[in-house]
Amino acid sequence: MRAPWKKSRTFGDLHGGRTRRRMTDNIFRRLHSLQLPGENEVRPVLVEENPSRDFFFPLTAHEALQVLKEFSPDRVMDLTHIWLRRDHRSESSDSSSPLAEFICGSRVRVIILYPWRKDHLLSLGAQKPQQKVVRAYSKFGAEIFLSGGCWYARFPEERLRDFYIQHLLLHEFAHHLDWYNRRWSKANQKQTEEFANQYAVRWGSSAIEVLDRETEAK
The 121-125 sheet, strands edge to edge: 121-125, 150-154, 143-147
What pairs with residue 11 in β-bridges?
31
What is the DSSP code string of the chain? ---SS----SEEEEEEEEESS-SS---EEEE----PPPTTS-SSEEEEPPPPTTEE-SS-HHHHHHHHHTT-HHHHHH--EEEE---TTTTSS-TTSEEEEEEEETTEEEEEE--EETT-EEEEESSPPPHHHHHHHHTTTPEEEEETTEEEEE--HHHHHHHIIIIIIIHHHHHHHHHTTS---GGGHHHHHHHHHHHHHHHHHHHHHHHHHHHHH-
pTM of the entire predicted model = 0.79
Confidence of residue 24 (pLDDT cuts 50, 70, 90): very low
pLDDT tens-digit map of 168-201: 999 999 988 887 666 555 567 778 888 888 989 8
pLDDT tens-digit map of 43-72: 899 999 999 889 999 999 999 999 998 888
What's the pLDDT at 13?
40
